[in-house]
A and B are shown apart, each in its own frame.
Chain A
């Protein structure tokens, strides 16, 4: 990893609530090159808020602070909202869990892809259409011309998520943040979508942050894994070395899932230690 794409140092996201301030992310640091990085944690671990903070999609009432949050040398916290917007979608893209909620229901898929493209680049209509179709082809949609004219509700979940990926990749971003991109999909479809994502990331040399609750899936897909617990990073480890994970939380997470062919009754459970969150 010679060139660093993203640097995160001591990232904190604080939410005001009725009972006082709550830190959802409490000092997260990592750096990312042109590689696949997984962020794993359970609900409430702050993994999604970390992704959103990088993307600049933190809810307005929350406060983001960091010693350093830089994308390709650009300090994300000091640039204007406008510059941030132009980065977003152009050089940094995000895929969310359920395409049903992230695609505009009253616009055809093709138009949404074209809109995205034309917001960020000056291209003529014909060329935009060409590129949108090519992108749909690239996410292995068999009949791109037909899907181009469909509305999001007319396609299946897997197809919708592919369209979403197509829309996000059409501008050729350098960093992709995928927040549980396949959790709403059936297992067999899930693998197809991951395969497409994997291929595109490798071909284009993108950096990928893959946020998920599924440690096993992430470890089979990513190069490196960041394990989060209660807003903090408890362990950073190479995916291939996950079996030798040091932190009891990481080990517990790996162990507590039932596996085919490994009979354990009862299943080992996590014994949460307060010092993990300290």
Chain B
């Protein structure tokens, strides 16, 4: 198995605050990998460092065997795309779905735009009727589907998912998670998914890393987690918390 994404000793510093304190990670080709942690654990920062949205202070990031420098070229963005957490904030308020989907094609000079847009909308379960709507005419789940379509339209091989369902209702969350699994299977994508919810990560991912305060706590497989075969207290706490409230008499 080759490493699709390999990270060594990654540090990210914002105004002297160390958001990531030397994190190692390797994600295999075709794998779905989860990052779990609470707020401030650095899980989202890790995703942003890969895309170049957060500056890496030190450490190396390798994608497809190619080490990344300070800036990312266009070819990188055809390989790696991201879906954001907040479906209300990630779509331009003055652009139709059509325009949103056309933008990446225009940037990369891709010719068969019409076909690709139709196919992308089809793939995320939105029909033609949605093509010329503005973001405010869509529900949260529909917006997130558009965001997924936008990420897929460049046909990347890696999808970074930053809490893609945490702003959605439970029933809509299920639909979006199913959709993500389906596109992964169909397109043989590699997922790197961030969530605060252990249940979602074990549902979606084969392996995961638990993070806290900018550091990796431990790396587990989903089956280890399901079998409660964890070695760190912090992970155990998270597991207990995810089971809901238990009244102690």
- A residues apposed to B, CB below 8 Å: 42-43, 157, 186-191, 194-195, 198, 213-217, 219-221, 252-253, 256-261, 263, 265-270, 272
Contacts and interface: CB of A to CB of B under 8 A. Distances in A.
Nearest to B140: A43
Chain B interface, >50% SS class? helix
A252 B245 contact: no
Interface stretch (B6-14, B67-75, B193-201): B193-201
Contact of A265 (B39, B171, B181, B237): B181
A256 B171 contact: yes
Residue of B171, B177, B182, B198 most packed against chain A (CB within 10 A): B171
A188 B244 contact: no
Residue of B196, B241, B245 most packed against chain A (CB within 10 A): B245
Nearest to B204: A258
A252 B171 CA distance: 8
Given A267-B177, A270-B171, A188 B238 contact: yes
B119 to A, nearest CB: 21
A190 B203 CA distance: 22
B200 A191 contact: no
Contacts of A261: 226
Contacts, number: 93
B39 A186 contact: yes
Interface string B42-82: 00000000000000000000000000000000000000000
14 contacts: A42-B170, A42-B172, A186-B39, A187-B196, A191-B240, A217-B244, A220-B247, A221-B244, A257-B170, A257-B199, A258-B174, A260-B239, A266-B182, A272-B171
B245 A194 contact: yes
Residue of B169, B181, B202 most packed against chain A (CB within 10 A): B169
A253 B202 contact: no
B177 A258 contact: yes
Nearest to A268: B174
